[in-house]
Structure 1
């Protein structure tokens, strides 16, 4: 699966993004599609640490993998605008990386350190490793 991101940062608009490989299956009721399965890259902007939604890594990932793939597909369908597209199914979604710049990663570590309550550890590096594994990619 090719990642066609030619930019230098996480995304054009954000300091960080969660990157997923997603496989879509097409089964439209009134047509045939070829190929009927495609793989693509999905980038979900990472909210600034401490802001609403910033704990996506804690809620959806474990050791660099999607922790509950079935449960993850519903919000992913919504984010992709597929909730009213019954002929398109997400058949696979795998976490690739947190693509970030150095300042976002520093802010993320600081947020974990300042309030470790939501986590099972108070060491920011241990927390990030527990959820993201080794899938943190710092880009400038």
Structure 2
């Protein structure tokens, strides 16, 4: 069971004794998704709406705390949620057990509210 939130991230480094050219970089960051039902599994509910980050500063902070000191996140955009079928099934089951938390009538409706069409099953 495996899944990750995929972000496009622009960042800069803060070196002490060198000058960088270019001084900004862009990369793809994959944040492992916690097991459904465990601490942190509601990241999608708290950070996404219709497949877009609902608070850019929150997403920047989320990524900045996972990167080494000296890396400054300039921007971060959510790209997709990549998952295997086992994780997706477990996620749907956990969502269905907590529908009131999502203000939805079904797991499918909740997934669409938060992920939009940005789920990629591999």
TM-score for both structures, normalised by structure 1: 0.80
Q: Offset of 1:25 from its aligned partner?
A: 2.4
Give me the whole-angstrom Cα distance separating, in 2, the residues matched to 1:32 and 1:53: 38
Runs (4+) off by over 2 Å: 25-31
Contact 1:112 1:122 in 2 (8 A): no
2:76 corresponds to 1:89: no
Moved more, 102-111 or 27-36: 27-36
Q: Offset of 1:76 from its aligned partner?
A: 1.4
Give me the whole-angstrom Cα distance separating, in 2, the residues matched to 1:100 and 1:58: 16
Give me the whole-angstrom Cα distance separating, in 1, the residues matched to 2:98 and 2:105: 8
Instruction: Choose from 70, 78, 102 the match for 2:65.
Output: 78
Q: Offset of 1:70 from its aligned partner?
A: 0.9
Q: Which residue of 1 aligns with 2:18?
A: 31
2:50 corresponds to 1:67: no
Q: CA RMSD in A?
A: 1.4
SS in 2 for 1:118: helix
Query: Counting strand residues as a fraction of each chain, which structure ranks higher?
Result: 2
Contact 1:97 1:135 in 2 (8 A): yes
Q: How many residues align?
A: 122
SS in 1 for 2:104: coil
SS in 1 for 2:21: coil
SS in 2 for 1:90: strand
Uncovered stretches (5+) of structure 1, i.e. residues with no partner: 1-13
Give me the whole-angstrom Cα distance separating, in 2, the residues matched to 1:112 and 1:66: 20
Give me the whole-angstrom Cα distance separating, in 2, the residues matched to 1:77 and 1:58: 20
